[in-house]
Chain A
Amino acid sequence: MLYRESGDFKTSYKADNQTFPIAFDRYRYWVVLAVAYLVIPFVITDYWANAILVPFLIYSIAAIGLNILAGYCGQVSLGTGGFMAVGAYACYKLMTAFPDVNILIHIVLSGGVTALVGAAFGLPSLRIKGFYLAVATLAAQFFLVWLFNKVPWFFNYSASGQISAPEREFLGIAVTGPNTSAWASYLVCLVFVTICAIIARNLTRGSLGRQWMSIRDMDIAAEIIGVNPLRAKLSAFAISSFFIGISGALFFAVYLGAIEVGEAFGINKSLLVLFMVIIGGLGSIFGSFAGAAFLVCLPVILKLIGVDLLGWPTDLVAHLQLVLIGFLIMFFLIKEPHGLAQLWNVIKEKLRLWPFPH
């Protein structure tokens, strides 16, 4: 009844090609943005920011990045953790080398550095595919973590090998460091998420996105119709790494503030982001958000129910979490192999017919 195309007349090509062709979707989009920008910053607490919202936003960017590579271009990557580490260390080196330059510029620049590194590690994708490429990106993961652990230049020769984010301000408000208020770190991440999501959404709708998808669906056919695989694959690696680098920089500078590379950006991180993309839905921007929300919020919710509500021992709850999350992942993938995004699409299809399903 509410959710339908009919009655929403488009009078220009621009209107016809917009991201959300259905009026209800557009209103929902603006409502979500209004709540995120105008309501949450005023009610947010330290706990909500640091335990749920900031990690959710940062992982969303990483998931969008990986989704471009794995979901749209079909190149499976296990190097996400390593690329996030590149973003984090680039941000650290830039922050300490050029303290006067704005931190937000540094975060974007670290995305750029990661894009270069990502494109370099994407070169093997021109020759190898599928599982073999996954293993090649796994090499990137281990190499990068080893590099940041081994070469003291990257952590400015500190005795403990940790990198710590110094305090930096934007318009006189602390954005990184201990005195950052919850709303400031939340808003910084939110701005980056919004911009990244809009860029990613429009890239995937445009000619570059269509090239990626044609490579994903059948690379030989794509080549025959004139898609340059070198350009398509390397651009997918570079753009995906750009987003992942931004998320790594935010992860280090805004969220954790201090990082030990092996612990924070190990293989677990690569797998976590890959799970987010798979559970959320390959080839869907909404899916990246859904997957990130699922894997960030679920452990917290399970912990709240188990420890705070039922009073169970913490180790039991932690083990149950592993079991339950594993079970839920299997359940979702059996029931809906295309992820939460497909579930959302099914709901939308039903909504279109509602309340007269015949």
Chain B
Amino acid sequence: MKMKSLIALALSSAFIATPAAADLVIPDLSYRTGPYAAGGTPFSDGYQDYFKLLNKRDGGIGGEQVRIVECETGFNTEKGVECYESTKGEGALVYQPLSTGMTYQLIPKATADGIPLFTMGYGRTSAENGAIFRNVFNFPVNYWDGASIAVKYLKDQHGGSLEGKKITLLYHNSGYGKEPIPTLEALAAKHGFKFKAIAVDHPGQVLKLTCYQQVVHLTVIKH
């Protein structure tokens, strides 16, 4: 009897103790190397600093310390897979793949593993449909409404009309880089501005040259 209650006590304390001892694990798939490092390094620093702030100021989230597990992807999908596999075992709560290529790859995997993906401003546009993509969250914008918001902003800047203006999209020459083009073409027909799309190939050395060519209004929509 006594033994039984002891075991019960030990078991229940173990169950209560387990969540208290565990940290909230958030993987940071960063890209501090490679051609896109200039964008990846500050993002990763900010991401980590914010959770550091929460840990120090608020004692974590809901009393639990957040533990960041950083993994370098170099914006490379294969390294991204390795990072995903090596960090998911630690109890990852959410992934930010930071690359559309990696997102496409992780959507099925993360859905099968039941881990949410947070792809802000990139990733799979059709993932807006939460009934099908229940693990993917791509707020605040996707490629399509991002393009539409940019055009709306420019319209407000120019007194409510874009008639006769020119908008050029310098896009990453890949499938996902091309995603905003149909939206912008439709908007060009609607608002009467001239739309031009110019491809910038990976890793982007020609970008500067292309920019000089386009002295008119310039919208760069990042992937």
Contacts and interface: CB of A to CB of B under 8 A. Distances in A.
Interface residues of B, number: 40
B175 A260 contact: yes
A260 B126 contact: no
B65 interface: no
A149 B100 CA distance: 15
B84 to A, nearest CB: 8
Interface residues of A, number: 36
B202 A263 contact: yes
15 contacts: A47-B89, A149-B174, A160-B100, A160-B143, A161-B175, A161-B179, A162-B100, A164-B108, A179-B112, A256-B78, A260-B77, A260-B175, A262-B201, A262-B202, A318-B72
B168 interface: no
A160 B202 contact: no
B82 interface: yes
B179 A314 contact: no
Contact of B176 (A47, A161, A300): A161
A264 B82 contact: no
Nearest to A46: B85
B173 A51 contact: no
A257 B109 contact: yes
A280 interface: no
B105 interface: yes
A161 B100 CA distance: 11
Nearest to B34: A318
A29 B205 CA distance: 49
A342 interface: no
B214 interface: no
B104 A164 contact: yes
Contacts of B175: 149, 155, 158, 160-162, 260-261
B41 A160 contact: no
B104 A162 contact: yes
Interface of B: 30, 32-33, 37, 41, 70-72, 74, 76-78, 81-82, 85-86, 88-89, 100-101, 104-105, 107-109, 111-112, 124-126, 143, 173-176, 178-179, 182, 201-202
A171 interface: no
Interface centre among B74, B125, B143 (most CB of A within 10 A): B74
Interface string A295-319: 0000010010001000000110111
A256 B77 CA distance: 8
Given A256-B78, A257-B109, A262 B173 contact: yes
Nearest to A260: B101
Contacts of A255: 81
Pairs of residues from A and B, 3 with the lowest C-beta to C-beta distance, nearest first: A161-B175, A178-B108, A315-B32
A45 to B, nearest CB: 8
A217 to B, nearest CB: 36
B212 to A, nearest CB: 24
B108 A160 contact: no
A343 to B, nearest CB: 27
Contacts of A47: 85-86, 89
Interface centre among A55, A260, A261 (most CB of B within 10 A): A260
B81 A160 contact: no
A149 B104 CA distance: 16
A149 to B, nearest CB: 7
B52 to A, nearest CB: 15
B104 A260 contact: yes
A114 B93 CA distance: 41
Nearest to B89: A47
